C-alpha cells in the first residue's frame, strides 16, 4: 500500500493520511486515525475527483490529474492545496530547486571524474572542468529558485533550452541521432521549471494578498 | 504535540537565517567544495534546533538539503584529493 501524509496547515502535524493499492485502487482517507472516506473504482474514479467533509467542517477534494509529463494527486482543502501536496505552489518551487541541485551535482560529479580519470572517451564527449562550472551556475539558480525568485527558474529555462539546442546542433552536425531519453529528460526539466515560474508567481500574489504578518519576524 | 510557543515557532513563515546560510554555503560548495563542510555543520545545527522547537519548521527543507549537498561536496573533495594523489 502506498501512502502520503499531509498537514492541514503549514508547519502543523501531519494528521491526514491518504493510502492506496495498485493502480490507485482502495483509496482511503484518514484524519487522526479516523476514516474520513474512500474512493472505489481506482484510477478512473479518482480522475473524476471526490469530495469529503472533514470533522472541522472544511471540504477535502482529491483528484488524480494526468498531464503529458506526469501524474499528480491534487489534494485541496476548501479549494486551497494542502502544504506539501503536488499542487501546492511552495512544493512545486521546492521540487524545481531540488531538480536543479540534482543536475548541478550530476554535472559536478562528471567534471570531477573527468579531472581525476583523464579519459579520452570523456574528453571526446566534452566532459571536463566546464561541467563543474556549469554545475556551479545551475546550483546558484537552484538556490534562488528555492528562495522563490521568479527570475532564477526563467534563467534556468533559458540555460537548458540553449544547452539542448547546442546538443541537438552538435549531433546534427556530426550526422548522429540524438538520444531520445536525453531529449525527453530535457523536456521534463524545462516543464518542471515552467511550473516553478508559475508557482513562484502564485506565491508572490498570495504574499501580497496576505499583507505583513502580525508576529515579529525572527 | 508541541507547546503553544513551539507551535507558533513551527508555524513561522520564514526559515531562520541559519537555515538560509546553510544552503548558501552548500551552493558555494559547488565552487570549491570546502564551503560544503560548513553547510554540513550548519545544517545539522539547524535540524537539532528545529527538533527542539527553537527554530521555525519551515527551515527543515533548507537544512536537510544543505546537509545532504554538503555531504556530496565532502565526497567530491575526497574523490578529487585521492584521485590527484594517486595520479601524482
What string of DSSP letters covers B11-53? T-SSPPHHHHHHHHHHHHGGGTSTHHHHHHHHHHHHHHHHHHT
Stated pTM of the model? 0.82
ipTM above 0.90, yes or no: no
Chain A positions touching B11 (Cβ under 8 A) are 9-12
> Whole-angstrom Cα distance, residue A20 to residue A204?
34
Chain A positions touching B87 (Cβ under 8 A) are 116, 118
Return per-residue pLDDT of chain A as tens, 218 residues: 888 988 888 777 889 999 998 888 889 999 998 998 998 888 888 899 999 998 889 999 999 888 767 788 899 999 888 888 888 888 899 999 999 999 999 999 999 998 888 777 777 777 888 899 999 999 999 999 999 999 999 999 999 999 888 888 888 877 777 778 888 888 889 999 999 999 999 888 887 876 665 444 44
β-partners of residue A61 are A51, A76
**A10 interface with B at CB cutoff 8 Å:** yes
> Residue B76 corresponds to which cell in the numbers above?
567530491
B84 closest CB neighbour out of A105, A116, A143? A116
Mutate to test the interface with B, among A13, A103, A116, A145 (most CBs of B within 10 A): A116
CA distances from residue A155 to A54, A160, A182, B24 in whole angstroms, order as listed: 42, 9, 20, 19
**A191 interface with B at CB cutoff 8 Å:** no
pLDDT band per the 50, 70, 90 thresholds, residue B4: low
Amino acid at each position: 500500500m502506498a501512502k502520503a501524509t499531509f498537514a492541514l496547515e503549514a508547519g502543523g502535524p501531519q494528521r491526514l493520511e491518504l493510502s492506496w493499492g495498485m493502480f490507485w485502487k482502495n483509496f482511503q482517507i484518514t484524519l487522526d486515525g479516523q476514516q474520513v472516506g474512500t474512493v472505489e473504482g481506482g484510477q478512473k474514479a479518482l480522475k473524476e475527483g471526490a469530495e469529503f467533509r472533514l470533522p472541522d467542517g472544511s471540504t477535502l477534494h482529491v483528484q488524480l490529474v494526468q498531464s503529458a509529463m506526469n501524474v499528480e494527486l491534487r489534494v485541496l482543502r476548501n479549494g486551497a492545496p494542502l502544504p506539501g501536496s503536488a499542487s501546492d505552489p511552495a512544493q512545486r518551487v521546492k521540487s524545481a530547486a531540488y531538480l536543479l541541485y540534482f543536475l548541478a551535482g550530476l554535472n559536478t560529479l562528471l567534471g570531477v571524474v573527468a579531472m581525476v580519470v583523464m579519459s579520452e572517451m570523456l574528453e571526446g564527449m566534452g566532459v571536463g572542468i566546464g561541467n563543474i562550472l556549469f554545475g556551479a551556475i545551475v546550483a546558484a539558480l537552484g538556490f534562488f529558485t528555492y528562495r522563490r525568485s521568479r527570475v532564477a527558474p526563467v534563467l534556468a529555462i533559458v540555460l537548458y533550452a540553449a544547452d539542448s539546442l547546442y546538443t541537438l546542433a552538435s549531433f546534427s552536425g556530426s550526422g548522429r541521432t540524438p538520444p531520445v531519453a536525453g531529449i525527453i529528460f530535457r523536456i521534463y526539466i524545462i516543464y518542471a521549471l515552467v511550473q516553478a515560474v508559475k508557482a513562484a508567481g502564485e506565491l508572490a500574489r498570495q504574499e501580497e494578498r496576505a499583507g505583513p504578518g502580525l508576529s515579529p519576524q525572527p | 504535540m508541541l507547546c503553544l510557543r513551539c507551535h507558533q515557532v513551527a508555524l513561522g513563515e520564514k526559515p531562520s537565517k541559519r537555515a538560509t546560510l546553510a544552503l548558501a554555503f552548500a551552493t558555494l560548495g559547488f565552487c570549491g567544495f570546502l564551503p560544503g563542510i560548513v553547510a554540513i555543520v550548519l545544517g545539522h545545527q539547524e535540524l537539532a534546533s528545529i527538533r527542539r522547537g527553537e527554530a521555525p519548521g519551515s527551515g527543515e527543507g533548507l537544512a536537510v538539503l544543505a546537509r545532504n549537498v554538503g555531504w556530496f561536496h565532502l565526497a567530491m573533495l575526497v574523490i578529487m584529493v585521492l584521485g590527484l594523489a594517486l595520479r601524482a
